[in-house]
Each structure stands twice: as C-alpha cells, then as structure tokens.
Amino acid sequence: MSDTFFTASPHWTWFIIPYFFVGGIAGGAYFLAALLQWFGRPEDRPVIRTGYSLAFWGAIISGALLTFDLGKPFRFWHMLFQSENFPNLMFKSWSPISFGAWAILLFGVCAAVSWYGSRAIDGPPKGGALLAKLVAAVGGLFGFFVAGYTGVLLSATNRPIWADSPWLGALFLVSGASTGAAALTVFAPEASDRTIRWLKSFDAQALVVELVVLIVFLASLGSVARVWLGFWGLVLLVGVVWTGILWPLRLHFKPAIAGGGFRNPALMVLLGGFLLRVVVLLASNSIAVHRVASGGGGGG
C-alpha cells in the first residue's frame, strides 16, 4: 500500500475545482493571446482582446474562489504579507500554494494591463506597442504558470493520486492550453476565419499532447492506479478521455460532422477540462484516512 493512503483529505472541492478550471482557461487564453500579439497579424486582434478579457476575468474569479474556500476568508492577505510583521512580504519559493498566490496576483495585474491596452481598436498607441508586447511576454509566462502550478501544487502533497505522480502539473498545463484555445473559439465571435483555423489546429495538437500526458500520468501511478477501478475511473474514461479528448479530436479531423452542442469540439473540450479537475480532485478526496480498527492495515 502506498504511504499516501495514511493521510487525510484537505476537502478541496467546489470552490477549488472551478478555480483550477477557470485558472487553466485564463492562463491558456492569455498565453495564446500573447503569442498572437507578438507573432500574429492585425486580423488576430479580436482574439487577442478576447484572450486578455478571459484572462482578466478569470484571474478575478480565481482569486474570489480561492478566498471563499478559506476557512477564514478575511485573512486571505496572510498569504501575501506577514500578518505579524506587516508590511513584510510572505513568500515561500518552495511552497506551491505560496508562490501560486503571488503568481495569480501578478498574472491578474498583467491581464488587466493587457486587456486595457487591447481595447484600443487600432492597437496600442504609438510607443506603447513595445510595452504591450513586454507585458504580454511576462503575462504569458505567468499564464502558463497559473495553468500548470495547480497540478504541481497537488503533486507537492502527500495525498493518494496527487503525490503518487509528478505528471499532474504537465497534465493541468496542457489541459489549460487546450481549454484556453477552446474558450477563445467560443467567446471570440468577431475572430477571422484564419485565426479560428489556427486556434482549432493548435487545440487539436494540444489534445494529442494531453492524451499522451494523461496516459503517462496514469502509468506513473503504478499500483495506486487501482483507485480508478470504480465510479471516478468511469468518469475519467467517458467524461475526460472520450468526451473531452477523443470526440473533439474526431470533430476536428472530420469538420463535416461538427455542429452545435455535443458536436461542437470547443464545448466538448471545455466539458472534458472541467471533468478532468473533478475526477482528479474528488477521486483523491474520496479516499479517507486508512482505518486500522480491524487490523487490516498490515502487510504493506
């Protein structure tokens, strides 16, 4: 038995799951918008604007969800400043939850600046273009960081599934990129056909990478993978692998069968990305502290 089965659940549930989902979309959307700002064309501007808008509101919602999840929400600032030595900063580079709090704050600042700049219809004012690109570069890195650190945070615990594999950070980051691209195709109605084609092409590639990383993640669990032999395994297989990866891939490669609702690949990717966070969080949470009353804990 893995040593992780002797630990207690932190009960991270219905605030943290949407936070992981929204944070992933926000980070992925900003990263793609930043790439388009650097290497794209004027026709990409509607998608850039939407990307920064998604990132800004995503950062706000993420911060709110994280705060509501705290046992003492009014003490959220204790993560940023030393409460007993204010205004000294509170930062632990070796604690994912500590540097994650700072990353969300700084990502939110970059998203706000970029979103404000991108609202100019003809692009940023003269002289501001370079500054906008620099902010986009920094924010893009923070974006990928926000999308991926949540998985790293889970790996840096002692809980079953989360701590039994070092691949969760990669999985969440790739999923953040694919859901970010999917959200951009859904929420950018003014986007040009060529931008949408690029987004769909990138999303298909990201889904393939996600499938590979998911397989590696499951394989890396070793004997702990048996926890999937149950309800959460079914959700993983049907909800994440089929609905969120394989079906949208099929729709991408056979656009003739794509359409609305379940035939919309972007919506399916978003659903799959949400379910990925649900199964990863709840499957581990459902494993209670190992009981020893019957003497059945022996044998290792």
Partner 1 sequence: MPEPMGFFTDTTICIGCKACEVACKNWNQLPSDGGGIKEMSGDSYDNTVRLSGVNWRHVKFIEQFEGPYNGRWLMMSDVCKHCVQAGCLEVCPTGAIIRTQFDTVVIQSDVCNGCRACIAACPFGVIDVNPAAGTAQKCTLCYDRLEVGLEPACSKACPTDSIQFGTITELRTRAQKRVEQLQAQGEKRARLYGDDPNGPLGGLNSFYLLVDEPEVYGLPKDPQLPSRNLKRSGTFAAASGAVLGLLALVGLRKRRMDEIGGGGEGSQN
1-40 binders of partner 1 (CB under 8 A): 1, 3, 6-12, 31-32, 35-37, 39-40
Within residues 43-72, the interface with partner 1 by CB under 8 A covers 43-44, 69-72
Interface with partner 1 by CB under 8 A: which range of 161-169, 223-231, 245-253, 269-277? 161-169
Would you count residue 294 as binding partner 1 (CB under 8 A)?
yes
Give whichever of 72 and 257 is closer to partner 1, judged by the CB atom. Answer: 72
Among 142, 167, 228, 274, the residue binding partner 1 under the rule CB under 8 A is 167
Q: Are 266 and 178 in contact (CB under 8 A)?
A: no
Give the x-and-dash track for 100-119 against partner 1 (CB under 8 A).
-x------------------
Give whichever of 113 and 163 is closer to partner 1, judged by the CB atom. Answer: 163
Give whichever of 71 and 261 is closer to partner 1, judged by the CB atom. Answer: 71
Smallest gap from residue 164 Cβ to partner 1 (A): 9
Give the x-and-dash track for 241-280 against partner 1 (CB under 8 A).
----------------------------------------
Determine the longest span between alpha carbons in the chain, in angstroms.
74
Smallest gap from residue 247 Cβ to partner 1 (A): 21
Would you count residue 218 as binding partner 1 (CB under 8 A)?
no
Would you count residue 87 as binding partner 1 (CB under 8 A)?
no
Would you count residue 201 as binding partner 1 (CB under 8 A)?
yes
Give whichever of 129 and 234 is closer to partner 1, judged by the CB atom. Answer: 129
Among 75, 119, 226, 263, the residue binding partner 1 under the rule CB under 8 A is 75
Could you give phi then psi for residue 89, rounded to 5 degrees?
-75, 150
Would you count residue 149 as binding partner 1 (CB under 8 A)?
yes
